[in-house]
Amino acid sequence: MKAIFVNHCHPEKQHVCAKRIWHFACAMAVRGHKIILLTESLNPNHSDISLTDLFKSIKVHDWSEPFVIPVVPVYDKTLTRLRNGELWYGIRQITILYRYLIEGGVFGNWRRGASAYFKFLEEMFDPDVIWSSFGNTDCWNIAQDLSWRLRCPWVGDLKDNWNSFLPLGLNALVAKRYCDMREVTAFSQTHRAQIHRVFKKDSTVIYSGFPKAQVKCMPLSFFNRILITGSLYNFNKVKILVDGILQWIQAGAKRAQSLEVSYAGGDVEIFHEATKALTPLCKTVCNRYLSIENLMDLQATAWVNAYIYNEKSLFQHKTLELLAAGRPVISIPGESAEFLSIVQSVGAKVQICSSPQSVFLALENFNINDGSKLDPEKMLEFSWESQVEKLEETLQSVSANK
């Protein structure tokens, strides 16, 4: 099968938005499919790849890996000012409304840049199906444009909360533009329910996973690291965790001697501000963004993994990664019923904490080897290698009926 995948975030971008489509593109390529990833360039100031160079590259490409086409957006002064927060209040709202109503989204300059490669894709690839991830509506607009140009069915993927990305009042109107989606894939059961409400379509749930090698249940011999992973969102939520750790340290001074409170993510300033009270008592480490391999190692060797729950996300990618590490997990300040159902099915140890006292009690009760209760075989069902089977089945079904 030949397929074009569309995702706004370049695979080398250090952000969760780049993970889902790229990892599934790689997994599909490993299974023998020819995959082209159409994405925005990592640096918008880069020059476009010439069509001549693309023709040469695709002829010698090793299809055991995806073929990446990085698109440089067409310069658009208004959209640049919009994204930089330079438009006055009122003008900003009018601009957003106009762009959605007339162009279908606020990344039309990326869409216009992508159109320059349609002839190349038609002549040199002729795909069987297109799979496009909703990170913004222009991802779907590009897929729709390609579908019309190449006479090829397209499948939408909803990995973000539709209601959080669309201006109030435009949700239903914009959704009607995508009635030609042949199928839809969903990031979670919660996303599936939203698809049914908004698009009146059924969908296939395909979780964003992790490499099989990430599933670990490593016994630890001492209390060493509490690792906080991902976006922190809100200072007050982080303080719940930090104040609970502080209580735990103060209840037994010797604990602080070997304890390290570590962070892996982009909200560096929030972490430093929230952990000021800890720095005299224990080691605090800010790792910023790490490679997948290094992050996996940190998570697997942590005494406890912690993260901040964001209810607006519907379902968060990092949750399954943390379960796969095989260590106890603390979520602040809540979690979805869907995630807790998965926790129960795989035997993971997760504590939901909404107050410093509940964090303190969780740390008191966590045994060094609590993470070993994880069932590796059940956890593997959520890996990239397992989840891609559902994607393959969906795309093959669509392509067979085009």
In DSSP terms, 228 is beta-bridged to 263, 306
CB 256: neighbour CB atoms within 10 A?
Answer: 17
Mean pLDDT of the chain: 92
What mean pLDDT do residues 266-281 have? 94
Tens of pLDDT, residue by residue over 362-400, are: 998 886 655 568 899 999 999 999 999 999 999 999 998
Helix ranges (H only) for 125-234 are 137-150, 162-165, 171-175, 189-199
Tens of pLDDT, residue by residue over 209-233, are: 999 888 877 767 566 899 999 999 9
Helix ranges (H only) for 266-366 are 268-274, 292-300, 317-324, 337-346, 356-365
pTM: 0.93
Taking the C-alpha atoms of residue 258 and residue 221, their distance in angstroms, rounded to an integer, is: 12
Predicted local confidence at residue 36, as pLDDT? 98
Predicted local confidence at residue 351, as pLDDT? 95
Predicted local confidence at residue 222, as pLDDT? 61
Residue 235, by phi and psi: left (phi above 0), alpha (psi -120 to 50) or beta?
alpha
Tens of pLDDT, residue by residue over 73-128, are: 999 999 999 999 999 999 999 999 999 999 999 999 999 999 999 999 999 999 99
**What is the token pair recorded at 370?**
């609590």
Predicted local confidence at residue 149, as pLDDT? 95
Predicted local confidence at residue 21, as pLDDT? 97
| Nearest Cα to Cα of residue 138 among 174, 92, 189 | 174
Helix ranges (H only) for 157-234 are 162-165, 171-175, 189-199
pLDDT for 30 beyond 90: yes
What mean pLDDT do residues 303-329 have? 93
* Residue 132 backbone phi and psi in degrees, to 5: -130, 130
Predicted local confidence at residue 367, as pLDDT? 66
**What is the token pair recorded at 183?**
């199928």
